[in-house]
Structure formats: structure tokens, C-alpha cells
Amino acid sequence: MDFKDKFHQLEQAQAYQEWKTNHPQSYLVHIFVMIGKEERQGQSETMMEWQIGFLNTNDTITSFESINDDPQFGIREDEAIFRPDQQDIPEVIISEVHETIDHAAAACHELQKKKYPAEIPLKKIMVLQFIHGLGLVVNVTYITLTLKTLNIKVNALTGVIVEEGLHDVFSFDKGNKEEQKNL
């Protein structure tokens, strides 16, 4: 399942259609997916946890949640926005997205193997979002065995990696950046 596929699946869901009727001005601002492995009956299965978020006119976010390819969605309404700089949050125009989850994941995996081989990913988080200064990106974060995060931003239109950085999980509260490279 890909960003566009999951978004179109959401558009078909009754919960979304009813919500959208009452929130015609709300617009798409992110598609989040956390990818991990889960053990079931002795087998390791890939688990994809999805959240698709919309900015509301009252400056809150409504998110629709789903697991894997399930066409059923739960709803979390009116959550506070994380916006430290008070910049506008542009709409994600899904038709403009050319990058796929598989391609972004492959590019990030290649970079991780080449430049950060000691950082073995435990979880992968991918967020399709607009970031000021970078544009529409797939913001990929690996949470590693060494308790670091490898953050890689892939342009959602071209598939080019535009930024990468490796951080200690426990250094975020200090605003510390170990490595940050704008490409």
C-alpha cells in the first residue's frame, strides 16, 4: 500500500465522507506510516500503522487511523497542532506526489547501508508532509538499535534525498545535532 492508495482508500470510507461533509474547509497536511515487524504465531509480519491528518479551521488536526490494508478507519478529532514557529501549514496535494513508499524506503536503505552501517533500524517512520524550505517531502526516520534516529528527507516530486541527519534520541531535549547535512 502506498501514500496515494491509502489516501484514496480513506476517501471511500464512510467515516471520512461523513466527517468531510461537516468539515469542507479542512485539508490534507500529512500521511504518516510507521513500519515495523510483529511476531504472530511464530512468523514475523510487516505491520504498517497509518495516520492521515487534516488541518481544521479551528487550528486543530483530525487524524484517520488504519492498520495495513484495512479499509476501516478510526478517527481522532481536534488534536493540538505542533507548530513551534507559527508558520502556515500548506496543503499536501496528493496528485503531485510522485514518490512511492518503496522507492523512498530503497533510497533511504541504500544511504543507511553506505553511510551509517552501524545504525540498524528497529522501526521506520515515514511522513508525507510539506516542510518550509524543502517543499513536499517524505520525511523518513529510522529508530535504531543504538537508540539514535537517522532522519532522511526525500523530495516527494523527484525522489532525491535533500537532507539527512543522525541524532542521539536523548539529545533532542538539548537541541543538539550530531550530524546534519543539507544536500
pLDDT digits (tens, 9 = 90+) for 38-90: 777 777 778 899 999 999 999 899 999 999 989 999 999 888 887 667 778 89
Pick 174 or 45 by higher pLDDT.
Answer: 45
Judge contact between 29 and 130, C-beta under 8 A. Answer: yes
Number of Cβ within 10 Å of residue 60's Cβ equals 14
Cα dihedral 68, 74, 77, 80, rounded to 10, equals -30
Same domain, 106 and 165: yes
Print the domain residue range for 124. Answer: 97-182
pLDDT in tens, 91-100: 999 999 998 8
Last residue of one domain, picked from the residues 65, 94, 123: 94
DSSP-assigned beta bridge partners for residue 183: none
Of 64, 94, 124, the residue that ends a domain is 94
**94, 127, 151 — which closes off a domain?**
94
pLDDT at 40: 72
- Tens digit of pLDDT for each residue in 104-139? 999 999 999 999 999 999 889 999 999 999 999 999
